[in-house]
Amino acid sequence: MKQCRLGYEKLNLDEKLVYDNLLNAFITFSDSVDSNRFKKNIDLMKVLNVVVGDNPSIIHFNKSQIKLSSSMFSGKQIKLCGTYSRSQINKIYSELESKVEFALNEIELLNPITIYDKLICIYEYLQDNVTYDEQELEQMCRTGNIANPFSHNAYGALINGRAVCDGIVAAFSLIAQRMGIESTMVAGKAKFYTTDFSNHAWNLIRVDDKCYHVDATWDINKKDNTGEYSYDYFCVDDVLISSNHHWNINTTHVCDYNDLSFYSRNKCYANNLSQVEEMFLRYAKSKQQFVRVRIREGIAIPGSDQQQYLGQLLMSVASKAGRNVPFEYYWNDDTRCFFAKFKQ
C-alpha cells in the first residue's frame, strides 16, 4: 500500500513535528501525547485532521474527546480521552480489515484496469453500500457533540453502512490507498440544496502528479434522490467544486485538472448548446436509459428555468429521433450537470 502524504506535504516544519508525534501515538494506541515541544501558535486540531485524513485506518478514538491538559509533573499533554480498550481495538480493526478485503474483492470482480476504472468502482461501491447518517447530523446540529464516533470514520461507513461526510471520506481513502491511489481529506464548508454553508469534508486524490477533488458524500445523497449513480463531484478541479465548497486553498494541493472526471472521460462535457443537442441526439439514438451531460460554466441557457429548458430540449431531440418515451430529469446548477432517466 502506497503511503499517503498529501496532507503532510502542505504542513510547515513545526506542524510536521506535531503530525509525527500524533501519528506515533495513534499507531501505538497511546492515550496521550507530550506537547511540551510544540509551539503555542500551532492549530492542533488542524494537524489532527491532517493526520486522520492521511491515515484513514485510524479509528480507535473519538475525535470530539481530545483535550489539552497540563500539570506540574507531566507538563503539557494532549489527552485522547475517547480511546477504546485494547480488546475493543483489536475487534474493530479486525472487522474493518475483513470488510476492506471484501470490498476490494467485490471491486476486483468488475475487472478494473485503469486508475479511472478503479476510482469509479470505489465510488459506485460506496453509493451502493453507504447511506448518509442523517440522525448523527441532527444530533451534532442540536448538541454540538458527536453521538456516534463510528459514523465519523471508515468503520461506520463500511461496517455499519451509515456515516457522515468524514466517515465516507475515510472509507474512500482507505480503499483507494489499498489500491495504490493517494487520497486524503479536505476539511472545509459546503452547502447541499441549502442556502447556508456548514462544516463538511471531502477527498483530495493524486494520480500521476495531478490532483483532483472527490466528494462521494454529495453523490451518495444524489443517488438517494434519483436512485441512480451520480458523478457530479467525481475528480473535479478547484474551480468547479468551489461553486458550493469553501476551504483554505493554502492547505491543499492545487487541483486544476478535469481529465479524470466522468463527463470528460465519457465525452459528455458540452462547450456550447449545439454540443448539448448533439449529445442528446446521441443518447436518444443509442436507446440508453440514462442521459448525463455537463455544460461548461459561462454557457448561457435560455429562459428563466434552466432545468425546464433542458428537459424540453431533450424531449424535442428524442421525439425527432423516434424515441417518444417519458423521462424524468434533474439539473444541478452548481455543477451544471444534467441527468435524465428514460422509462423502460
Task: Give me the phi and psi of 124, to 5 degrees please.
Answer: -70, -35
d(CA 233, CA 334) in angstroms, rounded, equals 10
Containing 76, the helix (H) or strand (E) segment is strand 75-80
Nearest CA-CA partner of 254 in 273, 278, 274, 238: 238
Give the model confidence (pLDDT) of 181-224 as tens digits.
999 999 999 986 666 778 899 999 999 999 999 999 999 998 88
Distances in whole angstroms, Cα of residue 4 to Cα of each of 175, 207, 261, 306: 12, 12, 22, 41
| C-alpha cell, 174 | 482507505
Give the model confidence (pLDDT) of 335-344 as tens digits.
999 999 999 7
Give the model confidence (pLDDT) of 259-305 as tens digits.
999 999 999 999 999 999 999 999 999 988 999 999 999 999 998 99
Strand partners, 2: none
Average pLDDT of the chain, as a whole number: 91
Mean pLDDT of residues grouped by 10 in the chain (344 residues)? 85 94 89 83 88 92 70 63 81 95 97 96 98 90 83 95 96 97 96 76 97 96 88 96 93 96 95 96 92 94 94 96 93 93 88
Virtual torsion, Cα 76, 56, 152, 188, nearest 10 deg:
80
The DSSP-derived string for 125-157 is HHHHH-EE-HHHHHHHHHHSS-S-GGGGSHHII
The proportion of the chain whose per-residue pLDDT surpasses 90, expressed as a percent, equals 70
Within 10 angstroms of residue 90's Cβ, the number of other Cβ atoms is 13
